[in-house]
Amino acid sequence: MVLWFLGVLQIVLGVRVVLRLIRSTGGVRIEAAMAPRSERVSIIVPVLNETARINACLDGLMTQSDAAAEILVVDGGSSDGTQAIVERYGSQDRRVRLIDASPVPCDWAGKTWGLYVGLKNTDPRSNWVLFIDADVRCSPLLVPSLLAHAERTGISTFSVATRQQLSSLADALLHPSLLTTLVYRFGIPGKATRNRHHVQANGQCFISSRDILLKTDAFRAAQLSLCEDVTMARRLAECGEAIGFYESDALVKTGMYQGYCETWRNWPRSLSTRDRYFGWHEATGLLEVLLVQSLPLPLLSVAYALGASGWIVAVNLALTFTRLGALWGIARAYEWRPWTYWFSPLLDLPVALLLITSALRRRQVWRGRVYVRRPGGTFEPLDKSKTVTQ
């Protein structure tokens, strides 16, 4: 009886996922472009103790064309020498400027505060604001390519599905399983939408019109969100803006975490997308991850052992082939794919349980600060005396 009930749910949710994947195929990409544009772009890089990563990030940003009018590095209170590194780069390129945003107020998450302070300090003459994380490595063509894409599509807010760098064999087993949960819930990158339940966003490389960001006050909506990029995108969609999410021609790459342990501990915090907008649509997405992405392989074994009805076996076999197709499809998101990559579906079940647990958890820890979820879905610091976090 339990298998029968699960099978029915898998059919209903599986149809939703498959239709979502079909509808999102054939999307557009951000193509590399060399032609200079007349627009001005302000680049904001929020940092906190980034000595291991900031050099490579700034090296890439300094190769951008003059369209990148300024590079504002907003520091949330680093104690490891990050500020000295940024000041050294500033002496080499007048566009690089350090902004000390410490201490972070108790009613803001550190990264969102850094983005907000950076926006308030941008040159009013800038048409666009590009947000870049310190772990990003970008092509010299990034800025002109983003501007050309905005002109071609007419979309004024979008982010990039960055090329991922895996750190180890173990990371190659875990990371693709986590990444696939996004594809199952939101579809394949390449489209724009005004539906806040369908938007995708990646704060590692996010560009928007400066006027739109100021008009919608998107960062205040995300000031205590632990998935600030998604919350900001949902706020913009709520205000009627179309939000795009696109792959690119190898314009941006990143290594998000140093090893699978960091990936396991930290990514689910934002990947569950639990924020003020979280509702039954988002909860259903997590259920889809569990029943459509994660359970088919285990259920095939159980159904075979118990001699279950043939239709249950057929449903889970079809969903397993869908999962293998997704594994093949997201392979292009990685620069290096060791042999363990192809076994990542084996971690789907623990990953699904991890995301659901993260979405239900009232307490979250990020950068040494404990957050407690409030009734409205936002988080607040447990110890408001600790004001430096990101």
Query: What pLDDT sits at residue 69?
Result: 95
Query: What pLDDT sits at residue 22?
Result: 95
Domain spans in the chain, listed from the N-terminal domain onward: 41-168+188-271
Rg of the Cα trace of the chain?
21
Query: What pLDDT sits at residue 17?
Result: 97
DSSP letter, residue 80? S
Query: What pLDDT sits at residue 388?
Result: 43
Beta strands 363-366 and 369-373, pairing class: antiparallel
Contacts of 138 (CB under 8 A, 6+ apart): 57, 60, 61, 64, 132, 205, 251, 252, 253
390/150 Cα distance (integer angstroms)? 29
Tell me the whole-structure pTM to 2 decimals.
Answer: 0.92
| Residue ranges for the chain with pLDDT beneath 50 | 386-390
Provide the CA 312 distance to its chain's centre, in angstroms. 34
Using an 8 Å Cβ cutoff, are 164 and 263 in contact? no
236/233 Cα distance (integer angstroms)? 5
Helix (H) or strand (E) holding 327: helix 310-329
Contacts of 380 (CB under 8 A, 6+ apart): 107, 224, 371, 372, 374
18/20 Cα distance (integer angstroms)? 5
Which stretches does DSSP call E strand in the chain? 41-47, 68-75, 96-100, 128-132, 136-138, 157-160, 163-164, 191-193, 205-209, 243-246, 252-254, 363-366, 369-373, 379-381
Using an 8 Å Cβ cutoff, are 14 and 307 in contact? no
Q: Which CATH architecture has domain 41-168+188-271?
A: Alpha-Beta Complex (3.90)
90/86 Cα distance (integer angstroms)? 6
102/389 Cα distance (integer angstroms)? 9
CA nearest to 351, candidates 175, 141, 152: 175
Contacts of 370 (CB under 8 A, 6+ apart): 363, 364, 381, 382, 383
Query: What pLDDT sits at residue 382?
Result: 67
Q: Which residues are registered as beta bridge partners of 192?
A: 244
DSSP letter, residue 27? -
Contacts of 81 (CB under 8 A, 6+ apart): 51
